[in-house]
Amino acid sequence: MSSSNPGSPSATATSSSSASSFSSKAHSCIQALSSILSTVPSSVSSSSSLLHDPTVSSQISTLLRDPDSGSGDNNLCRWLYDTFHSPDPELKLVVLRFVPIVAGIYLSRIALRKSLAGFEAILLALYAHETTARDGQPISVNVPDLTQPSIYHEAKSSVKTQATELNLAVISPTLEPHGTMRSSRRARIVGVALELYYSKISQMPVSSKLEFCEFCDIWATGIQNKPSSSSSSKQKTILLPWELLQPSLRILGHCLLGAHKSKKLYEAASMATKSLYERSLHDIDAKAILATSSLLRLEKMALDPKLNVDHTEIDMSLAL
């Protein structure tokens, strides 16, 4: 499922020259990790194997769910923070893989007045990375009307205006640098971490996406809807402003309608979408109602065999 890295020739050249330094960095990271986890399989030797190894992931996930995991002196948080700051982009992906758990547990524990400095450091590091990467520009999308011709259609634009009115929609406003986690900016900082996660989602393993769906359920309704387990524990819901909701909806859209083959992920995403729909009705949030209800309808349509005819099939009526 991982795609090839879209790199220019110069990027691949530099990566090959520093490949040795990256691999040594990966080694030292894995070494550091072995002192924190109980077992690290010997098959884990490079950053991509670290990303996909299920034993390592499940151990890290369990440790992160520990009641005291987010504090400032926690080893695992420190490891995640250091790993994210390494120059190897593959190692950054390893940290990104755990964003759903870190964000989920962090937000759920806010009301408990525990020390969460470890989680905050990781989230702030992700936020700082995005702030530098975006260089003070917002992420915007131009939504054109069809009067201007595009590469996909002709248009009868009789009046050639000099400057067509840009219908610029801002998907993600400009980021201000934040050194500390201020409560009023918490949702934005976590939202930006989720946006970063979404930008690399095609390279994330399925287990990471499953964790995200699980936390969506908890955020929305407080009920952990695990398809496998019968128990559902009641936890506190969190405030879901648009800054958190929008990236979550994009991730769920990928889990539900993206080109992957995991049935488990599909079911988990379906439940998470239903939870978010109920939550958007509860908050009477019009945009969220529109987005979640359309996802639910699309999911139903995807399952309907009458609507999914394969037009590329050969017409066999002539054969016999």
Partner 1 sequence: MADDETPSQTQESSTAREFSANGTSMSTTDVEAKLDKGNIEEAESSLRERLPLNSESASCNPKTATFRNEHLNPNSSSVSSSNYSSSHENNCANLDSQSQQAARLVLEGVYLKVKSLQKLGKFAEAAQDCTNILDAVGRIFPQGIPDAQVESKLQEMISKAVELLPELLKQAGKYQEAMAAYRRVLLNPWNLDNDCCGRIQKAFAVFLLHSGLEAGPPSLGAQADGAYVPKNNLEEAIPLLLVLMRKIHHGDIQWDPSVLDHLMYALSLCSQTPVLSNQLEELKPGVFHRTERWNLLALCCSGVGQNKAAMNLLRKSLHINERPNDLTALLLAAKICSEDSQLAAEGVGYAQRAVDNAKRVDEHLNVGLRMLGLCLGKQAKVSSSDFERSRLQNEALKSLDSALSFEQDNPDIIFELGAHYAEQRNLNAALRFAKKYIDITGGSVMKGWRLLALILSAQQRFAEAEVVTDAALDETGKWEQGPLLRLKAKLKVSQSRPMEAIETYCYLLALVQAQRKSSGPMKIDSQVEDDKVKEFEVWYGLAALYSSLSHWKDVEVCVKKAREMKQYSAELVHTEGFMHQERGEIQEALASYINASLLDPFYVPSKVRIGALLSKLGSNSLPVARTLLSDALRIEPTNRKAWYHLGMVHKDDGRLADAIDFLQAASMLEESDPVENFRSIL
Under rule CB under 8 A, which residues in 251-290 are in contact with partner 1?
A: 253-254, 256-259, 281-284, 286-290
Stretch that binds partner 1, among 83-91, 94-102, 120-128, 143-151 (CB under 8 A): 143-151
Q: Shortest approach of partner 1 to residue 91 CB, angstroms?
A: 20
231-250 residues in contact with partner 1 (CB under 8 A) are: 236-237, 239, 246, 249-250
- Counting beta carbons within 10 angstroms of the beta carbon of residue 113, is it exposed (0 to 12), middle (13 to 18) or buried (19 or more)? exposed
Residues 79-98 that bind partner 1 (CB under 8 A): none
Question: What mask, x for binding partner 1 by CB under 8 A, covers residues 192 to 221?
Answer: ------xx-xx-------------------
- Indicate whether 148 belongs to the interface with partner 1 (CB under 8 A): yes
Q: Please select the residue that binds partner 1; options are 183, 228, 229, 230, rule is CB under 8 A.
A: 183
Asked if 163 is part of the footprint of partner 1 (rule: CB under 8 A), the reply reads no
User: Which is nearer to partner 1, 85 or 300 (by Cβ)?
Assistant: 300
Query: By C-beta, is 130 or 283 nearer to partner 1?
Result: 283
Please tell me the distance from the alpha carbon of residue 82 to that of residue 85, in angstroms, as a whole number. 5
- In terms of CB distance, is 25 or 250 closer to partner 1? 250
| Shortest spacing between CB 12 and partner 1, in angstroms | 15
Total residues belonging to the chain:
320
Q: Determine if 184 is a binding residue for partner 1 (CB under 8 A).
A: yes
Residue 311 touching partner 1 (CB under 8 A): yes
Which residue is associated with the tokens 């190692």? Answer: 91
Q: Work out whether 320 is an interface residue with partner 1 (CB under 8 A).
A: yes
Contact region for partner 1 (CB under 8 A) — 9-17, 123-131, 225-233, 306-314?
Answer: 306-314
